[in-house]
Amino acid sequence: MDLTVVLGIVFAIASLSIGDILEGGNPAHLVHISSLLIIFPTAMFAAMVATDGEHVRGAFKNLKLVFKKSPVNLEERIKEIVELAVMARRDGLLSLENKVANLDNEFLKQGLGMAVDGNEVDTISEALELVIEETEEYYHGCAHYWILAGETSPVMGLVGAVMGLILALQKLDDPAAMAAGIAGAFTATVTGIFSAYVLLGPFGQKMKAKSHHIIKEQKLMLEGIIGIVHGDNPRTLEAKLLNFLSPAEEKHSQFN
């Protein structure tokens, strides 16, 4: 589980609640069922209108990516590629045939499969670069759905507030009921802004960020495959692939 997402939501709710309590309020009054129904479904339906169907389906299918830790482990992937490079340099590319069949990553399996089949490096690069491009477009489209839903939420909050005010103003003969209606109407504005900047919008941004990890891994694997086909020294290839790690990650060579 990605604690930055879970703790971010929890602490945002907590800080908002504490601030409300300090002002003498009760956070429970911010939860308004009709506001939730007006804002969340409507914002997502509106975002659906502006998004390709494939990306709408992908947005919900890949929502778990937001809450889970990144599925990418570049250090382990580098280790795997270097081991394959050692085998290919020692026994030839054809020795990888059985290994390729058991690989857990379809991108790596496709690239090394093409290499084992005797394809030229340019052919392999063209095919895999297209895969990278399509993967990036897919995840960005899915993430954009949530970002768009987040951008729509404050407007839907305003719509909900206006609808509530219209109903409240119909109760001029009952000041207490009218005041309660006005208070309830403004919860829609709070809900819309909250969902835009704490939930839906951040979901999209987090999905986009994690998709960058997937794309980086594919670019790393492409460089590794090219190095294997060229017969690069495994130590040299490893040093090149370690450059894909971020400055926050320590670079450890398996040859040390």
- Please classify residue 198 by burial: count the beta carbons closer than 10 Å to its beta carbon, then call 0-12 exposed, 13-18 middle and 19+ buried: middle
Q: How far apart are alpha carbons 111 and 40 in whole angstroms?
A: 42
Predicted local confidence at residue 100, as pLDDT: 85
How many helices and strands in the chain, by DSSP H and E? Answer: 11, 0
Torsion of CA 41, 42, 44, 50, to 10 degrees: 160
Print the domain residue range for 101.
Answer: 33-256
Predicted local confidence at residue 118, as pLDDT: 84
Indicate the length of the chain as a whole number: 256
Answer yes or no: is pLDDT of 250 > 90. no
Cβ atoms of residues 13 and 28 within 8 Å? no
Averaged pLDDT for residues 169-174: 78
Does residue 88 sit in the same domain as residue 23? no
pLDDT cut 70: percent of the chain above it:
100
Predicted local confidence at residue 89, as pLDDT: 86
Q: How far apart are alpha carbons 86 and 89 in whole angstroms?
A: 5
Residue 249 backbone dihedrals phi, psi, to 5 degrees: -100, 135
Confidence of residue 25 (pLDDT cuts 50, 70, 90): confident
Does residue 26 sit in the same domain as residue 78? no
Cβ atoms of residues 148 and 205 within 8 Å? no
Per residue in 93-112, pLDDT (tens digit) is 888 888 888 888 899 999 99
- Please classify residue 190 by burial: count the beta carbons closer than 10 Å to its beta carbon, then call 0-12 exposed, 13-18 middle and 19+ buried: middle
Predicted local confidence at residue 52, as pLDDT: 93
- SS3 category, 176: helix
Does residue 76 sit in the same domain as residue 187? yes
Predicted local confidence at residue 218, as pLDDT: 94
Single-letter code of the amino acid located at 164: G
Averaged pLDDT for residues 251-256: 76
Does residue 98 sit in the same domain as residue 18? no
Does residue 46 sit in the same domain as residue 173? yes
Does residue 10 sit in the same domain as residue 124? no
* pTM score, whole prediction: 0.85
Does residue 167 sit in the same domain as residue 68? yes
Does residue 152 sit in the same domain as residue 230? yes
Answer yes or no: is pLDDT of 151 > 90. yes
Q: What share of the chain is helix, strand, coil (3-state, %, to 5)?
A: 80, 0, 20
Q: How many domains does the chain have?
A: 2
Of the listed ranges 46-55, 87-96, 118-127, 170-179, the least confidently predicted one is: 170-179
Does residue 99 sit in the same domain as residue 65? yes
